[in-house]
Amino acid sequence: MRNILPTLDALLALEVERPLTTKKDLREMKEYLAVFDETARKLTAQGQDGGAVTAALLQKLPKRSLAEWMVGFNVKARYLDKGNVK
């Protein structure tokens, strides 16, 4: 997986009429992504299926809009073997 976390600060350079995000938002997103990645890798390595991994992530991570759909999609797309998606 390509590490994009260091490049997230570039988002601060993008401004229209007001900043699109703050350093605090970026710091929270970096933390969220790190926990997501660590947890998803650990649980899939233990052989847990996509539904179990998604449920565990939704319990562990801070609540976000659309999280349920996005978490499940990302677990299947990035962490499960294509032949073993459950």
Q: Is the pLDDT of residue 1 over 70?
A: no
Using left for φ > 0, alpha for ψ between -120 and 50, and beta otherwise, residue 47 falls in left
- 45: in domain: yes
Query: Tell me, what's the pLDDT at 55?
Result: 95
What is the domain extent for residue 26? 22-84
Residue 38 lies in a domain: yes
Question: What pLDDT is attached to residue 4?
Answer: 56
The total number of structural domains in the chain stands at 1
Confidence bin at 46 (pLDDT 50/70/90): very high
Reduced 3-state DSSP string for 2-48: CCCHHHHHHHHHCECCCECCCHHHHHHHHHHHHHHHHHHHHHHHCCC
Residue 32 belongs to a domain: yes
Give the lowest-confidence range in 18-27, 28-37, 74-83.
18-27
3 in a structural domain:
no
Q: Determine the angle formed by the axes of helices 23-45 and 50-60, rounding to 10 degrees.
A: 140
The reply to whether 29 falls in a domain is yes
Distance CA 22, CA 80 (A): 33
pTM for the structure as a whole: 0.70
